[in-house]
Amino acid sequence: MRTIATASQVSEAPLHHPRTARASDYPAIAAAVDDWWARPILAGLPRLFLDHFHHTSLVIDAPGGLLAFLIGILSPADPRQAYVHFAGVAPQARRQGLAELLYTEFFTLARADGRTTVSAVTAPVNTGSIAFHRAMGFSVTGPLADYNGPGRDLVRFDRAI
């Protein structure tokens, strides 16, 4: 994710309301992500995430189509943990508070299920994501060498909710 939002920007976007994702949202998300990131990243977001985790994922629609999304998971292994696997905002909608709105809604969803921590990861070169997560109150750890396999260093984010 390459968007940074402030709390005041969320109030500037009252017409945008996250909804629970559906498995049928996958084609629209898949069609958008490589363009939104300006590089091929779809391989990191296979259909299984919307097939199996749509009830903990969020979408913001606009009249013209998909505006933003967050793919979230409530850990089946750790009942305290929730995880944001992917979040994105259409380039024309960035800096309007949509990413913060999605994260805030996900925090509410995770808390309601008894979760106490949300985590995420990103590549060290994704400075926008690192800045966004810091602004959202996440601790930043790393880069962690070989986190996702040999030569695949990642930065980890954690936040108590």
Q: What is the DSSP-derived secondary structure letter of residue 107?
A: H
Which residue from 141, 143, 110 is spatially nearest to 125, judged by alpha carbons? 143
pLDDT, one tens digit per residue, over 141-151 is 999 999 999 99
State the CATH class of domain 7-120.
alpha beta
Three-state DSSP class for residue 131: helix
Q: What is the pLDDT of residue 9?
A: 46
Mean pLDDT of 15-19: 89
Q: What is the pLDDT of residue 8?
A: 44
Angle at 14 between CA 94 and CA 53, to 5 degrees: 70
Integer Cα distance of 155 and 38 in angstroms: 20
Q: What is the pLDDT of residue 15?
A: 76
Mean pLDDT of 152-160: 97
Q: What is the pLDDT of residue 14?
A: 53
Element (H, E) at 87: strand 81-89
Q: What is the pLDDT of residue 94?
A: 93
Task: Report the 10 Å Cβ neighbour count for 133.
Answer: 27
Three-state DSSP class for residue 48: helix
16 pLDDT tier (thresholds 50, 70, 90)? confident
pLDDT, one tens digit per residue, over 92-146 is 999 999 999 999 999 999 999 999 999 999 999 999 999 999 999 999 999 999 9
Q: What is the pLDDT of residue 46?
A: 95
% of the chain surpassing 70 pLDDT: 91
Question: How many alpha carbons lie under 13 Å from residue 109 in its C-beta half-sphere?
Answer: 26
User: What is the overall mean pLDDT for the chain?
Assistant: 91
Asked whether residue 73 carries a pLDDT value surpassing 50, the answer given is yes
